[in-house]
Amino acid sequence: MTQQFPNLARIDLNQLLALQAILEEKHITRAAARASLSQPAMSRVLGRLRSALGDDLLIRSGVGYERTPRGDRLLQELEVLLPRLNAVIGSNDFDPSTSQQCFRVAGTDYAAAIIVSGTVRLCRQSAPGVRVEVVGWTQDSYRDVEMGRCDVALGVGSVPTLPKELKVEVLYQENFVCLMSTDTKFKGKRFSLDEYLRRPHAVVATAEGRQTMIDRPLADLGKQRNVVLQSPYFMSTALSIVGTDLIFTVPMRIALELSKLANFRQVLPPQEISDFPYTIVWHPRLGGNSEQAWFRDQIRATVK
């Protein structure tokens, strides 16, 4: 076993707990109290960790200590790893009312506003000790789920970069609507493709600098939008189009929320822009974990 995982032979689980305390506190005495050790004992642990990991981990800075770059990376990994180890070693019986689990969700601000917000409200009712951390969407989000850095990813189900090893479930079908300032001149209920392309656009870029579910079908037709404003955020972009001639094409569910911020006019996009599946993605290794299954159920209940 040590041949398969040679690095693990250099430290034990208790040292990982001490390492997390040291890196979070950046103070030997406070870390020692947190780990129920004396200050000299914690100093010896820090010395062994420095030797085993080949890094200072903490360095003096003014009157205190700062983490080294590797110390920062280790702390980020420990925040994900230790709760998982605790769940693996502990009983599989899950009691939401006493759980202190932190669930990490990868998603855009659309997912945070439409799904995570409702999920948190449900969690607070039956599991007040549970925490939810939203991790911003990147091109590596599915990889983060695959590697265990996130518990679930909420995203567009038809994106082709989804690893085959992951579990995918369609939560619902979503469709687009165009938001415009109320004084924008247009008489119809739906844009033709030509009219849509003639107008200036505000865009939330979610992948590769574009809004995939809109720009990809347009690209297949050899077309592209006249993008005047590009942003990663729905709320700020919506507020930015007020009093302008910009069109902001967004999923219907977020359009309903954004319309609470301002009195937008809604027009349907061209028929070439179709609806799309919105999905939850997780790794099969979490399939039998009762905590993870419960959390996915909260997400499902929210979208219903």
Domains of the chain: 6-89 (1.10.10.10), 102-173+278-303 (3.40.190.10), 176-274 (3.40.190.10)
pLDDT for the residue 129 = 93
Residue 133 in tokens? 């951390």
As a whole number of angstroms, the distance between CA 127 and CA 62 comes to 42
Which residues, 6 or more positions from 17, have their beta carbon under 8 angstroms from its beta carbon? 35, 82
Cα–Cα distance list, 76 to 70, 73, 81, 149, 243 (Å): 10, 5, 9, 9, 43
Burial of 92 (0-12, 13-18, 19+ CB in 10 A): exposed
Spatial strand order of the sheet with 265-267 comes to 226-231, 200-204, 247-251, 176-180, 265-267
- How confident is the model at residue 1, as a pLDDT? 45
Quote the pLDDT of residue 175: 94
Low-confidence stretches of the chain (pLDDT beneath 50):
1-2
Residue 180 pairs in a beta bridge with 265
